[in-house]
Amino acid sequence: MSETTVNRTMSNVFDEEAAENAPGGNVVGAYLAHLAKRRDDVVALSADLGGALAELREARPDRYIEMGIAETNSVSVAAGLAASGFIPYIVSMGPFSALKTGEQYRTDLAATNLPVRMIARLTGVSMGFFGTSHHAVEDIAITRSITNLTVVASSDNNSLIALLESTVDYPGPVYFRVSEGITAKIHPQIPTIERGRFVMVRDGSDLTIIATGVGTDAAFRAAEVLETEGVSVRLLDATYLKPLDEAAIVDAANQTGAILTVEEHNVVGGLGTAVAEVIARNGIATKLSIFGLPDEHLEVSLPNVLYEHYGLTGPGVAEQARKLLAG
Amino acid sequence: MVDAGIVAESGVLERERPASEQELANRSDWIRLQAMNLIEQAGFGHYSSTFSCAEIYSVLYYHTLRLRPSDPSWTERDRFLLGKGHAGVGLWPIFADLGIIPKEWLETYGKLGSPITDHPNMRTVPVDFSSGSLGHNLSVAVGMSIAARLSGRDYRSFVVTGDGELQEGQVWEAAMAGSHYQLGNLVAIIDANGFSGGGPTSRAMNIEPLGERFSAFGWRVVEINGNEVAELLTTFDDLPDPSSDKPTCIIARTHKGSGLKMMEEAPQAWHMGLMTPEQHEAAITEIEARIS
């Protein structure tokens, strides 16, 4: 049996039925429908990814704006809606969101401080089967470097709901890096997520794993394995990538003496880089390992195969932890 | 000189405020003079791109747009977006004159911390949207026009784009969306002065035939001389009702540097720069001689 438990088999991303039956449910679609039913100022824009928004489309057809395969236009149109009092949610594919429209994020949303929410679904290698064009492994680097852009990432459905709910009325733009298909109950209940704070999934004293998205799922499983080996693991879910929880990073370094970061992103410019910057700025001596996808042309295959190949699994992350602690 | 028009008790400047052609032509030259002074004060600026759209500014702000200067974010106002943000220097004298910004702000132009900048910034000055990156603002105006529909308001969204700006692919994404969503409350004015920063627009990348292209994208198209006040007046007065179902594209054929002989003869050289004091004085004399 595969060690990978993220349920990322490929499905037709345009298909409404597939969206409704997605592993763990169609949280983005259900939540936006819920929002649009109770608030007149919420609109959803789809860059040809409306399959997941069937419920909203039915309940509030005038609050569903299909933009077609035009991501850049979607962002700027959303800016115009936001400047007119609306809270637009743009739902688009991860590979074609931040990488393609970073300039529109910066100029039209962040520099103007408009409350647009960019929901990047299908991030990381979740569309890895389709080829390099569909890998979304640069978005943390791009979005974190844009001044005044809030960057959040869900690790399971409960954290996604918490992030969506807690940011509805945030006055500026928010980029959502959505990881779907994670069925592990990393957060058994909907967590309270404070702006700029990590969520502590478990506490420990020998090692801190700071992880995000699919990385958190793998780290969650790794922590259980390591615990049986007598290694006490603190697991921090980096639901906020910007602003970053610097205090939690400093505490982790001082209190556990070893930090392992895990992410489904290029190891250049992602969560690990951000954590390393904090450690360096604070002049802390600590063991640190950055684990993610290598800075090379990635293999092309089904997502679960890619997670196995690159070690973004429970055993894979446990092995990284052992190496770090032995070093 | 034309005054700000009829100001209702509410402080609203209504659409189609009375203004004679001569008054609006004079106002266009006043905009040129004021822009020159601001550029002189700052030490650098965009001359000829601003001059080409002086009549468009004049007719929009002193006749066509519904505004409430005392409350620039009034929800019922007509929106104005400057896609070609590098002509921002022509807006600030108008804003100060109408009372949208304090007159003293003009003295800060070009200085550190000034709220009025070469390209408009909505965080510091009450423009309807920031600009600077070409190709964005028609999309933003599509969003504003959709917002008008969703909220049941009858404002129009006007966008002035450069002709070189049309080389940006996003403009055509916006053009598609404008007709797809049947936005009769959306008006694109193309300041077709024939030049972009690097030279003649269509030598770099052919954008013609503009009328046929916008027609093919489902827009109502009007082609006029954009430096002729009379033609602008007729065109704006004849705009279809905002509730109609076709966006309007006004192809305003203009001269880059219009209104000053030395710029008309060397439009590209005057895209940006600074006049010598002698050129500045001569330009004032030439323009003032025309104002009656």
Residues A23 and A156 occupy one common structural domain: yes
**Residue A123 lies inside a defined structural domain of this protein:** yes
* Residue A72 at interface with chain B, using a CB cutoff of 8 Å: yes
Judge whether residue A258 has pLDDT over 90.
Answer: yes
List, for residues B229-241, the tens digit of each pLDDT value.
Answer: 999 999 999 999 9
* Least confident stretch, A20-24, B150-154, B229-233: A20-24
The answer to pTM > 0.90 is yes
In the 3-class helix/strand/coil scheme, how is chain A assigned residue by residue? CCCCCCCCCCCCCCCHHHHHCCCCCCHHHHHHHHHHHHCCCEEEEECCCHHHHHHHHHHCHHHEEECCCCHHHHHHHHHHHHCCCCEEEEEEEHHHCHHHHHHHHHHHHHCCCCCCEEEEECCECCCHHHCHHHCECCHHHHHHCCCCCEEEECCCHHHHHHHHHHHCCCCCCEEEECCCCCCCCCCCCCCCCCCCCCEEEECCCCEEEEECCHHHHHHHHHHHHHHHCCCCEEEEECCEEECCCHHHHHHHHHHHCEEEEEEEEECCCCHHHHHHHHHHHCCCCCEEEEEEECCCCCCCCCHHHHHHHHCCCHHHHHHHHHHHHHC
* Inter-chain touch B140–A113, beta carbons under 8 Å: no
Q: How confident is the model at residue B197 (pLDDT cuts 50, 70, 90)?
A: confident
**Residue A111 lies inside a defined structural domain of this protein:** yes
Judge whether residue A8 has pLDDT over 80.
Answer: no
Residues A172 and A205 occupy one common structural domain: no
Q: How confident is the model at residue B4 (pLDDT cuts 50, 70, 90)?
A: very low
**Residue A320 lies inside a defined structural domain of this protein:** yes
* Inter-chain touch B146–A104, beta carbons under 8 Å: no
Residues A151 and A239 occupy one common structural domain: no
Residue range(s) defining the domain that contains residue A309: 199-326
Query: Which of residues A115, A145, A177 is at a domain's end?
Result: A177
Residues A153 and A257 occupy one common structural domain: no
Stronger pLDDT, A275 or A49, i.e. the higher one: A275
* Inter-chain touch A86–B147, beta carbons under 8 Å: yes
* Inter-chain touch B136–A107, beta carbons under 8 Å: yes
Judge whether residue B105 has pLDDT over 50.
Answer: yes
Residues A42 and A148 occupy one common structural domain: yes
Residues A137 and A238 occupy one common structural domain: no
Q: How far apart are CA B54 and CA B288, in angstroms?
A: 15
List, for residues A105-115, the tens digit of each pLDDT value.
Answer: 999 999 999 99
**Residue A8 lies inside a defined structural domain of this protein:** no
Q: Which amino acid is at B236?
A: F
Q: What is the pLDDT of residue A327?
A: 85
**Residue A57 lies inside a defined structural domain of this protein:** yes
Q: Which whole number is the average pLDDT over B144-163? A: 98
3-state secondary structure of B150: helix
In degrees rounded to 5, what are phi and psi of residue B281?
A: -65, -45
Q: What is the pLDDT of residue A183?
A: 75
Residues A205 and A238 occupy one common structural domain: yes
Judge whether residue A136 has pLDDT over 50.
Answer: yes
Q: What is the pLDDT of residue A180?
A: 77
Average pLDDT of every residue of chain B = 95
Name the domain count of chain A: 2
**Residue A184 lies inside a defined structural domain of this protein:** no
Q: How far apart are CA B197 and CA B49, in angstroms?
A: 9
Query: Which of residues A124, A144, A177 is at a domain's end?
Result: A177
Q: Spell out the domains of chain B, with CATH numbers in brackets.
A: 21-288 (3.40.50.970)
CATH number at residue A207: 3.40.50.920
Q: What is the pLDDT of residue A2?
A: 42
Q: How confident is the model at residue B2 (pLDDT cuts 50, 70, 90)?
A: very low
Q: What is the pLDDT of residue A9?
A: 60
Cβ–Cβ < 8 Å for B12, B66: yes
Q: State the smallest CA–CA distance between residue A92 and chain B in angstroms.
A: 16
Q: State the smallest CA–CA distance between residue B8 and chain A in angstroms.
A: 24
**Residue A7 lies inside a defined structural domain of this protein:** no
Q: What is the pLDDT of residue A91?
A: 95
Q: Which whole number is the average pLDDT over A46-59? A: 92
Q: What is the pLDDT of residue B1?
A: 42
Residues A27 and A135 occupy one common structural domain: yes
CATH number at residue A158: 3.40.50.970
Residues A172 and A211 occupy one common structural domain: no
* Residue A184 at interface with chain B, using a CB cutoff of 8 Å: no
Q: What is the pLDDT of residue A302?
A: 93
Judge whether residue A5 has pLDDT over 60.
Answer: no
Residues A45 and A82 occupy one common structural domain: yes
What is the percent of chain A with per-residue pLDDT over 90, rounded to a whole number?
A: 88
ipTM: 0.94
* Residue A47 at interface with chain B, using a CB cutoff of 8 Å: no
* Residue A65 at interface with chain B, using a CB cutoff of 8 Å: yes
Residues of B in contact with A68 (CB under 8 A): 176-177
Q: How far apart are CA A95 and CA B108, in angstroms?
A: 44
Q: State the smallest CA–CA distance between residue B142 and chain A in angstroms.
A: 6
Query: Which of residues A143, A177, A211 is at a domain's end?
Result: A177
Residues A163 and A256 occupy one common structural domain: no
Judge whether residue A81 has pLDDT over 70.
Answer: yes
Residues of B in contact with A76 (CB under 8 A): 136-137, 139-140, 142-143, 170, 174
List, for residues B6-60, the tens digit of each pLDDT value.
Answer: 555 689 999 999 999 999 999 999 999 999 999 999 999 999 999 999 999 999 9
Judge whether residue B79 has pLDDT over 60.
Answer: yes
Residue of B nearest to A111 (CA): B123
**Residue A121 lies inside a defined structural domain of this protein:** yes
Q: What is the pLDDT of residue A1?
A: 36
Judge whether residue B201 has pLDDT over 90.
Answer: yes
* Residue B23 region by backbone torsions, left for phi larger than 0, else alpha for psi between -120 and 50, else beta: alpha
Judge whether residue B138 has pLDDT over 80.
Answer: yes
Does the active-site annotation cover A58? Answer: no
Residues A173 and A52 occupy one common structural domain: yes
